Amino acid sequence: MNFDLTEEHKMLKEMAYKFAQAEIAPIAYDCDKEEKYTPEVRKKAAENGLVGAWIPEEYGGAGVGILGNTIITEELSRVDMGIGLNIVAASFGCEAIYFFGSEEQKKKYLTPVCRGEWVAAGAFTEPNAGTDVSGYRTRAAKDGKDFVINGNKMFITNGSVCDFMVAQCISLPDQKRHASFSQIIVPADAKGIIRNKLHGKMGIRSSDTAEITFEDVRVPQENLVGKEGRGFYQLMHFFDITRIMVSGQAIGLSQACLDTAIKYSKERTAFGAPLGSYQLTMAKLTDMAIRVEALRTLVYKAAWLVDAKKPDYTLAAMGKYLGGQTAVFCANAAVEIHGGYGYMDEYAVQKWYRDAKILELYEGTKEAEIMTIGRVLQSK
């Protein structure tokens, strides 16, 4: 059993972090404050092979696999999770196309995303259905050679900036609930689409999030991804993959909190001694370090297993659950170690505190992960 990263992964890790320090760090504060999306950074990242990096080279990606993509996500998130998300989530929805789409669809949609020319989105969550994905109500009715789509989507990453989206729709309403769904590629400029950027998020404010309305949106039936009626199962597979990416975000943010807290505890003095010399501070730092190390090992294993074609999606759910918990714990501890300064926006820890909470909410809430893991345990 070898826990060492390959030389390729080590170089990828170093390159991604250097890119983040050079291109993301200088603008992170302003982009968070102004809720500013960053297409220019995404395009530079694409030039360095950081967009859609998990996608094989034949479709324009860097071919670094899920583990490589997790490492990229981790290193970008060490600097800024929101701008990092603009890079690694530019390919959101492409997972469905790669694993279930036709060869023509893969060449048409994946390559421009990897080049930084297009942005994808996964139009899944609805205003009244989040974790309960079987409760989605958006309909895709057949009319001649087209689908006509009506419905609403909410909290869609890249929703107002994407060039196309993979939309989860009911296309077979007479079938049982799980067999009624299909996934359909919808051009973002199609007639009848209304996109409203959401403002006022607590964290990841530079990442674009939108509400999308479909009003008699017509797309050709050839835009169906995979088989009709298999959309629910394709979506579950999507989450199994993207949860690992979200866990990578958690590693990066948690590591940033730990690094910054250690640095501050050495510089700040209290009662005539460095803050880090006190046992209570040591206890917090130690707890942070242990959780980060445990999380990284768990998530890297889950990613490696996918690349080895031996996926363990229960492990991916565990990584997502632990990731959210670790990030929230580490962000809270970092703020506490900084004391009053941790509450001020001149210190990054307050931003990381705001960013961390989303890791317990999107790509499956922590409660949803408990249900997923618990069902598997009960089945043994």
pLDDT of residue 198: 98
Is residue 312 domain-shared with residue 371, that is, in the same domain?
yes
Per-residue pLDDT for 1 more than 90?
Answer: no
Residue 207 and residue 322 in one domain: no
Question: Which of 64, 94, 114 is at the close of a domain?
Answer: 114
What is the model's pLDDT at position 132?
Answer: 86
Domain presence at residue 166: yes
Q: Can you tell me the distance from the alpha carbon of 272 to that of 204, in angstroms, rounded to the nearest whole number?
A: 38
Domain co-membership, 248 together with 371: yes
145 domain-assigned: yes
Same domain, 89 and 141: no
DSSP conformation letters of 265-327: HHH-EETTEEGGGSHHHHHHHHHHHHHHHHHHHHHHHHHHHHHTT---HHHHHHHHHHHHHHH
| Confidence band of 380 (pLDDT split at 50, 70, 90) | confident
Quick check: is 2 in a domain?
no
CA distances 376 to 6, 93, 127, 299, 371, Å, are: 32, 26, 29, 18, 9
At 202, the pLDDT band (50, 70, 90 cuts) reads: very high
Ranges of beta strands (E only) in 105-177 are 120-123, 139-143, 146-157, 164-170
Looking at residue 358, its pLDDT comes to 98
- pLDDT value at residue 156: 98
The question of whether 360 is a catalytic residue gets the answer: no
Specify the long-range contacts of residues 302-309, CB closer than 8 Å, at least 24 apart: 302/244, 302/247, 303/65, 303/66, 303/67, 303/69, 303/70, 303/244, 303/248, 304/67, 306/65, 306/66, 306/67, 306/241, 306/244, 307/65, 307/66, 307/67
Average pLDDT for 217-229: 98
Domains identified in the chain, total number: 3
Can you tell me the mean pLDDT for 368-380?
Answer: 93
Please state the rounded mean pLDDT for residues 248-255: 98
Distances (CA, A) of 198 to 35, 49, 208, 348: 10, 29, 8, 23
Specify which residues 140 forms β-bridges with.
Answer: 149
Task: From 194, 209, 229, give the residue that closes a domain.
Answer: 229
Is residue 68 within 8 Å of 53, Cβ to Cβ? yes
Kindly state whether residues 340 and 305 are assigned to the same domain. Answer: yes
Whether 224 and 162 map to the same domain: the answer is yes
Residue-range definition of the domain harbouring residue 365: 233-379
* Cα–Cα distances in angstroms (integers) from residue 327 to residues 296, 339, 361, in the given order: 12, 18, 12
In this structure, the answer to whether residues 140 and 94 fall within a common structural domain is no
CATH of the domain at 11: 1.10.540.10
pLDDT at 292 over 90: yes
**pLDDT value for 146:** 98
Token code pair at residue 13 = 């890790």
At 2 the pLDDT is 87
**206 shares a domain with 150:** yes
Q: What is the pLDDT of residue 200?
A: 98
**pLDDT the model gives residue 35:** 98
**Domain containing residue 151: CATH number:** 2.40.110.10
Which CATH number fits the domain that encloses residue 250? 1.20.140.10
Q: Are residues 282 and 203 in the same domain?
A: no
Compute the mean pLDDT over every residue in the chain, rounded to the nearest whole number: 97
**Looking at the domain assignment, is residue 365 inside a domain?**
yes
Is 23 part of a structural domain of the chain? yes
253 plus 306 within the same structural domain: yes
Question: Would you state the pLDDT for residue 115?
Answer: 98
Of 35, 95, 211, 363, catalytic: 363
**Domain presence at residue 324:** yes
Indicate the residue type of 220: P
| Helix ranges (DSSP H) in the chain | 7-19, 25-34, 39-47, 65-77, 81-88, 94-100, 103-105, 111-114, 231-267, 279-307, 313-338, 349-356, 366-379
Residues 244 and 365 in one domain: yes
Binning pLDDT at 50, 70 and 90, where does residue 130 land? confident
Q: Which residues of 37-51 are buried (b: 16+ CB within 10 A; e: fewer)?
A: bbeebbebbbebbbb
Regarding whether 83 and 19 lie in a shared domain, the answer is yes
pLDDT tens sequence across 317-332: 999 999 999 999 999 9
37 within domain boundaries: yes
Assigned domain for 1 exists? no
Domain stops at, among 209, 229, 249: 229
Q: What integer pLDDT is reported at residue 177 of this predicted model?
A: 86
Percent of the chain with pLDDT over 90: 97
